[in-house]
Amino acid sequence: MIQEATDRVLAKTKGAAKEIASSLEARIHSGQITVGDPLPTERALCEEFATSRPTVREAMLLLQGRGYVSLETGHRPRAAKPTLDGILTSAAGHISSLLGDAESGAHLEQMRQFIEAAAARIAAGKATSIQLHQIRSALERNQQDIDTDQFAESDIAFHRAVVAVVGNPIILRLHDMFVSTMLANRPARAKYGGSDQTSFDEHKAIFDAIVAGDAMSAAELTDQHLMRSYRSRLSGVATK
């Protein structure tokens, strides 16, 4: 009985917080509250919605998650406008929490494969001379970093240069988030043992296919490269 009563109170609080958040969001949308202006005080919102301060604070957190409020310690919350970067950064926080189990991590690896294989296919068909130069520069840096602690960084830069050819800022931002988050959660890399050379050779093959305009080979080589790398990590072989 006590648990049921507690659940009802929590449900009521969450419902009230969502109502307050939706109301304030609508006011910001309509211009009734101008972006950059302080929101009504906690006391005013408590009186308006006949609720408690904790409920109002929960509503502020909901608005912050949606990008409609800026919260700073010691200051009144201010109205804000959602930005692409802010929305994706918020999403990245949720994505990071998925990495607590191996299956979720594998799903993110698979998503990365889809993005990068598709990007390699597109790059083979539309990369400009400047973009090809950028990919080649990243590849050359990657070769210089073989068997050094900088290899992972230039490895990422090579793949990023290929994805950048697509010209989609959302895809590029998501790629940056996925890759940085996945790498941060991977086991420490063992000392080299030839894996860097293998990865570089595969990067070189991908680049050659892109330069040749062979979209199918570029996509297949990228997919095989990432799958080989993932399987090597699962088997305990140190790769990127």
pLDDT tens figures, 69-107 = 988 888 889 999 887 666 666 665 565 565 555 566 677
240 within domain boundaries? no
Select from 82, 112, 129 the last residue of a domain. Answer: 82
> End-to-end alpha-carbon separation of the chain, Å?
53
Per-residue pLDDT, averaged over 166-183, amounts to 80
> pLDDT digit string (tens) for 100-136?
555 666 777 788 899 999 999 999 999 999 999 999 9
Clarify whether residues 42 and 133 are in a common domain.
no
Q: What is the rounded distance in angstroms from the CA atom of residue 196 to the CA atom of residue 142?
A: 9
Q: What is the rounded distance in angstroms from the CA atom of residue 198 to the CA atom of residue 214?
A: 21
Clarify whether residues 38 and 95 are in a common domain.
no
> pLDDT digit string (tens) for 14-71?
788 999 999 999 999 899 999 999 999 999 999 999 999 999 999 998 898 888 998 8
What is the model's pLDDT at position 4? 47
Select from 47, 82, 117 the last residue of a domain. Answer: 82
DSSP 168: -
Question: In terms of DSSP H, where are the helices of 127-214?
Answer: 129-144, 151-164, 169-184, 195-212
Clarify whether residues 63 and 116 are in a common domain.
no
Query: For residue 155, is pLDDT > 50?
Result: yes
Kindly report the number of other CB atoms within 10 A of residue 45's CB atom.
20
Clarify whether residues 121 and 217 are in a common domain.
yes
Clarify whether residues 46 and 146 are in a common domain.
no
The residue range of the domain holding 118 is 87-234
Number of domains in the chain: 2
What is the model's pLDDT at position 5? 41
Contact 169, 85 (CB under 8 A): no
Select from 82, 101, 126 the last residue of a domain. Answer: 82
Clarify whether residues 99 and 139 are in a common domain.
yes
58 within domain boundaries? yes
Query: For residue 137, is pLDDT > 90?
Result: yes
